[in-house]
Structure 1
Amino acid sequence: MSRTLFDPAPSAELTGRDLKSRLPSSDAARVRRRLVLLAVAFAIGFFGLSARTVQLSLPAQPLLADAAQASESEAPASASEALPWRKRASIVDRNGGLLAVDLPTHTLLVHKRRVKSIPHLAERLAVALGEDDAAGIRERLESARASVILRRRLTPDQVAAVYRVGDPAIEMLPTVTRNYPAGALTAHVVGFLDGEHRGRAGMERGLETRLHDPAAEPVALSIDLGVQHVVHRELKRAIETFSAIGGAGVVMDVDTGEVISLVSLPDFDANMREAMREDAFFNRATYGRYEMGSTFKAFTTAMALEVGRMRLTDGYDATHPIRYGRFTIRDHHAKARWMTVAEIFMYSSNIGAAKMAVDVGTEAQRRFLGSLGLLDRSPLELPEVIDPQAPARWKELETMTIAFGHGLAVSPMQVAAAMAAMVNGGRHVTPTLLRRGPGNPATEREVISPATSEKLRKLFRLVVAEGTGRQAQAPGYVVGGKTGTAEKPKAGGYSRKAMITSFAGIFPMHDPRYVILIMLDEPKGTKETFGYATAGWNAAPTAGRIIPEIAPILGVRPVAPDDPRVIEALSLPANAERTARRNETL
């Protein structure tokens, strides 16, 4: 059987001399051989060039039809190093609206050694990318040693335009990017990723393991985008109106603990990481630690009614300030008379709250606040949560100041969760940013009795109907709540010019479903507020604008204040009303 030149040798004994002896000897044979070799070389070169031309002229095919199942990576050095897809689940709001999703994209890599004319290529790429900075592209190409990543996260139009440039120096690396459709609206909730597609902040980091499960379904948060939009807009408006340095807003379901809205301003857009300001990363709602002022009187009153066995008609003499060593405790809205427990709450008396707390006792106060989750870090799924700051020395003076919200610093989120327990029948429900379902049941514990919770509902309504929270009233809805104004601590004391103002609201008050917490950091007085910068003039009206907009979204129907159901649920005992009215005439 004959063999050709390209047949393998039958054994190792076949040498080069043997092969030479088998070659044709005629000139015609030599010519044919050279032509064959030349044709083979030409074919190899032609097909190689054709393959490269096709690569540059056709857009890359997506690795997956479903872009939502892709994952993100920073651009690798070559296409062979591109990370696999389907690595990160999407994040959606409670109604399925996209909050975070992986999308296919390309990274533009230029191999300098293949560039024939840097100025020419820079001009063409600037046009393809829709940019005017051809000089900047040229500078980057000239300064590169071998290859340079020119752009990441190209849009589909940019990808198509770059392919049309068709330069052999260009390499397009298929990759993916994490996209945040809501932008800054949910920045502090969702967070963002680092350069290696790992969660760096927010729920992206808090749920890192779950989101990296290739088989995971989209993760549904408790957030409602419609409610989030309203809270974000009105909080931003309040910050601008009152020249505050920041603010926070929380809306929470009092029965399930689901956080329907969580906003912290200033914020950022994770889609534009290059423009992020460092101070925008600070989550005031969960990582901010503040002395929350008179909102704490709700807890003091609940403690007095529950632990101290006081009645709404019991009271204290608030005629004169309390002097304790070099400290003096005064009332901002001084009545200078004896006040009932109901009046102390309605008129936000520091003197009355301090005396109530002293009667209950320091240890009882500590235990009660601890049961409300105010002495431990919030169990929220975010990594940006902080431990409360309790006094190292918790004695009688601290007992008095904590009673009206000074001396214990907590996050607004913790106050919202504790307020929910005041009105939902007395159950402290663990807050969550995940939509409740079979796999995420609520955990709860009783902290006050249903009877005490019922009394507090009536007091909360009294504050908005007749007390410091009147500007939180919302047409068509029965609102209750508590204002809080606290001077910010500074070296050696407190600053009278820098305040934290807040309003913890509940609606509908006769059948509580939601808590809203609005906090402003260092608001200033305006001409419209007659120079006042307290919570009743800024935080309360902000909540009053938000509630009528979000109530329909949440399925809360309007009701008139004189509706028999409202009157029956929120009327104070007759003797308490008579006592309060009699005191007003004195």
Structure 2
Amino acid sequence: MSLIARILKVKSRSHILITRPESGLFPEKILGTRNKRGGQARQRLGITVGAFVCGFLLIGGRLVQYGLAEEPTTASLGNPSAVASRPDIVDRNGQLLATDVNMVSLYADPRRIIDADEVVEKLAAILPNLDWRDTHRKLRTDSGFQWLRRQLTPRQQADILALGIPGIGFRPEKRRFYPGGRSAAHIVGHVNVDNLGLAGMERYLDQQGLADLRAIGMTSGVSLEPVRLSIGIRVQNIVRDVAAKAMNAYQAEAAGAIVLDVETGEVLAMASVPDYDPNEPSRTLTDGSVDKEYEKGWFNRISNATFEMGSTFKSFTLAMGLDAEKITLNSVVDASRPIRMGGFTIKDFKGKNRPLTIPEVFQYSSNIGTAAVADMVGIEGHQEFLTRLGLLSKMETEMPGVATPTQPRTWKKINSVTISFGHGVATTPLQTASAASALINGGKLIPPTFLPRSPEQAATLVKTVVKQSTSEDMRTLFRRNGQKGSGRAAQVEGFDIGGKTGTADKVVNGRYASDLNFNAFVGAFPMDKPKYMVLSIIDAPKTGVHGGRTAASTAAPMVKAIIARAAPLLGVQPRFGSKDAPYSIESF
């Protein structure tokens, strides 16, 4: 061993202590290497113990914090009343049309999911039509919240709870429920999965500020006052039933009807078929796709669509001539031969080929006689009169999505002639019923409403559009046609019903189809003092009463069925015996 190695070995084992005596000859005390290492070990042990103590204190503090913290509401059912609500919707008699029910929805915290594949497999056994790929994608994200399925049934919730899957929770929600189902679907409308109104009066409520109040939490835990509509659900059920049966019996593409109070403008019933169930507004097929045929039922043909209303427009043309004092009920027009104009020939469907009085023009639905009256008034007067009745502008009412009428960009004489008998201008059936009401209620145009309205309230909205004498003459024409003309198909024994049919060639791809009709009937009762207006439509019927396809064989019988079943509910008692005996009309 080398000398240097021996010295290092001896030095490492040595403990040399040099003390400084009081004399101060030695400068300091020197510790050995072994004592130095022992001090470092004790220092390290102290640091380690301190670190462990701090760690345990930190963990203990967090556990206490978690123990004292309130449980997150998204992880449990919480308090359902704290969820934003919508007001109930009821009919004019207080019958429930729409309400909120408490539901729960399933969500996940992907950060707490251990095995996404296992979770998807377990949930798929409980939830029908679960999208495996989409659910797996959600569970693999880094977000802290993902919806998995909205609005579970109680059974589904219980089954999922029994699985005990970490990272899965339930959140309280509200689901809109419509007890009447399809009956008033197009009036009440529906909501989406977040309870926001998408159509009908549900959407109207949101447009009036409900959506904003919900957004800031003003409707949470608050009992909202029910919203009352003008419709009566019993009459509504009748109207919807008649329309549905007519569509099937006459093999038509669609059908519909509306009942109006001519004194207040209240819509008492309105139905359009095909329709849909607002409890299931979007139906999903077994393959996961959406049923497009079912979605066609969303289309409301009474207020959200425009049609050429055919000969029902002759009511407005003759009223125009009477109001302008160009004709009287004793006037005679020449309908002995067709009118040729601009390459077109205007002729009657079943012409009498002779001069006709004004009542005969209405009764026989003469195109030639009606065109002659329009020519007496002139193009500008014709356009102004229809505008005055609200037939050429968008109707103002609470119902969202109301269609805008169409008319020629420039009115020429041929346009005025064809419009006089219902071709060339397209309006909504609701507008037509409202304008026709003004012809028989004393000349008062009242905006239609889906909310209750008293006669006093209606009086503040009245716009006089025709003279009282004109209205009286039109009641005479309506009643005569109901007794002797095409309106006989709508007559109900014991009630005095008047009206006008309208059979128009259907417009398909911008052209008139020779084998397809759009039929309508506008009628009122009782005609000695009209109270209610009923309008029916039927689109492209293939058959009708006695095999006919005209309005007299299809649309008029619909009005007959509605009045026969609904008149007692509307408070109108039938009258038999003396024609001079007044009708009894009770409050509805």
TM bucket (normalised to shorter chain) is 0.7 to 0.9
> Shift of the alpha carbon at 1:420?
0.6
Given candidates 407, 422, 428, the residue that maps to 2:439 is: 422
Q: What whole-Å deviation, never above 9, does each CA across 1:292-334 have from its counterpart, x for those lacking one? A: 1110111112122221252212211222111113111111122
Match of 1:500 in 2: 518
Q: Is 1:227–1:261's contact at 8 Å kept on the other side of the alignment?
A: yes
- 1:481 is paired with a residue whose SS is strand
Match of 1:487 in 2: 505
- 2:483 is paired with a residue whose SS is helix
Q: 1:211 to 1:513 in 2, by over 3 A?
A: farther
Given candidates 400, 403, 415, the residue that maps to 1:386 is: 403
Q: Is 1:56–1:166's contact at 8 Å kept on the other side of the alignment?
A: no
Given candidates 311, 336, 344, the residue that maps to 2:361 is: 344
Match of 1:211 in 2: 210
> Shift of the alpha carbon at 1:116?
5.7
Q: What whole-Å deviation, never above 9, does each CA across 1:425-469 have from its counterpart, x for those lacking one? A: 111111111111599645111122222212222221221221112
1:175 aligns with 2:173: yes
Q: 1:360 to 1:54 in 2, by over 3 A?
A: closer
Q: Is 1:112–1:141's contact at 8 Å kept on the other side of the alignment?
A: no
Q: 1:54 to 1:337 in 2, by over 3 A?
A: closer
> Shift of the alpha carbon at 1:268?
2.2
Q: 1:439 to 1:384 in 2, by over 3 A?
A: farther
Q: Is 1:118–1:138's contact at 8 Å kept on the other side of the alignment?
A: no
Match of 1:533 in 2: 549
Match of 1:74 in 2: none
Looking at structure 2, the residues matched to 52 and 116 of structure 1 have their Cα atoms a distance apart, in angstroms, of 25
Match of 1:246 in 2: 254
Q: 1:481 to 1:98 in 2, by over 3 A?
A: same
1:446 aligns with 2:456: no
> Shift of the alpha carbon at 1:177?
2.5
> Which amino acid is 1:288 matched to?
A
> Shift of the alpha carbon at 1:236?
1.3
Looking at structure 2, the residues matched to 108 and 327 of structure 1 have their Cα atoms a distance apart, in angstroms, of 66
Q: What whole-Å deviation, never above 9, does each CA across 1:330-388 have from its counterpart, x for those lacking one? A: 11122222211011111111111111111122222222211111121101122211221
1:258 aligns with 2:266: yes
> Which amino acid is 1:262 matched to?
M
> Which amino acid is 1:496 matched to?
S
Q: 1:265 to 1:56 in 2, by over 3 A?
A: closer
> Shift of the alpha carbon at 1:513?
0.9
Q: Is 1:89–1:217's contact at 8 Å kept on the other side of the alignment?
A: yes
> Shift of the alpha carbon at 1:62?
2.3
Unaligned runs of 5+ in 2: 1-47, 284-290, 584-588
Looking at structure 1, the residues matched to 317 and 493 of structure 2 have their Cα atoms a distance apart, in angstroms, of 30
Higher mean C-alpha displacement, 203-212 vs 379-388 = 203-212
Identical-pair percentage: 39
Looking at structure 2, the residues matched to 57 and 372 of structure 1 have their Cα atoms a distance apart, in angstroms, of 59
Q: 1:393 to 1:151 in 2, by over 3 A?
A: same
Match of 2:491 in 1: 473
> Shift of the alpha carbon at 1:537?
0.4
Given candidates 226, 229, 232, the residue that maps to 1:221 is: 229
Match of 1:542 in 2: 558
Looking at structure 2, the residues matched to 304 and 412 of structure 1 have their Cα atoms a distance apart, in angstroms, of 23
- 2:183 is paired with a residue whose SS is helix
Looking at structure 1, the residues matched to 152 and 397 of structure 2 have their Cα atoms a distance apart, in angstroms, of 36
Looking at structure 2, the residues matched to 438 and 313 of structure 1 have their Cα atoms a distance apart, in angstroms, of 35
Match of 2:244 in 1: 236
1:159 aligns with 2:167: no
- 2:572 is paired with a residue whose SS is coil
Looking at structure 2, the residues matched to 229 and 506 of structure 1 have their Cα atoms a distance apart, in angstroms, of 20
Looking at structure 2, the residues matched to 180 and 485 of structure 1 have their Cα atoms a distance apart, in angstroms, of 36
Q: What whole-Å deviation, never above 9, does each CA across 1:48-83 have from its counterpart, x for those lacking one? A: 69999999998544235xxxxx5xxxxxxxxxxxxx
- 1:272 is paired with a residue whose SS is coil
Looking at structure 2, the residues matched to 360 and 292 of structure 1 have their Cα atoms a distance apart, in angstroms, of 21
Match of 2:30 in 1: none
Name the TM-score, length of structure 2 as normaliser.
0.78
Which is greater in Rg? 2
> Which amino acid is 1:557 matched to?
Q
Given candidates 512, 518, 522, the residue that maps to 2:530 is: 512
Correspondences of 1:95-494 after superposition (within 5 Å): 95-112=93-110, 114-115=112-113, 125=123, 131=128, 136=130, 141-144=135-138, 145-146=140-141, 148-194=146-192, 197-207=195-205, 208-212=207-211, 213=213, 214=218, 217-275=225-283, 277=292, 278-437=295-454, 441-442=458-459, 443-490=461-508, 493-494=511-512
Between the two proteins, the alignment pairs up a number of residues equal to 514
> Shift of the alpha carbon at 1:498?
2.3
Unaligned runs of 5+ in 1: 1-29, 65-69, 71-84, 568-586
Given candidates 549, 559, 566, the residue that maps to 2:575 is: 559
Match of 1:90 in 2: 88
Given candidates 540, 548, 554, the residue that maps to 1:522 is: 540
Q: Is 1:180–1:270's contact at 8 Å kept on the other side of the alignment?
A: yes
Match of 2:19 in 1: none
- 2:523 is paired with a residue whose SS is strand
Q: Is 2:77–2:171's contact at 8 Å kept on the other side of the alignment?
A: no
> Shift of the alpha carbon at 1:137?
6.4
Looking at structure 1, the residues matched to 369 and 132 of structure 2 have their Cα atoms a distance apart, in angstroms, of 73
Aligned-pair Cα RMSD in Å: 3.5
Q: Is 1:476–1:548's contact at 8 Å kept on the other side of the alignment?
A: no
Q: 1:565 to 1:350 in 2, by over 3 A?
A: farther
> Shift of the alpha carbon at 1:114?
4.3
> Which amino acid is 2:512 matched to?
Y
Higher mean C-alpha displacement, 408-417 vs 555-564 = 555-564
Looking at structure 2, the residues matched to 162 and 89 of structure 1 have their Cα atoms a distance apart, in angstroms, of 31
Q: What whole-Å deviation, never above 9, does each CA across 1:109-131 have from its counterpart, x for those lacking one? A: 134554566676557645655x5
Looking at structure 1, the residues matched to 307 and 58 of structure 2 have their Cα atoms a distance apart, in angstroms, of 79
Looking at structure 1, the residues matched to 251 and 515 of structure 2 have their Cα atoms a distance apart, in angstroms, of 13
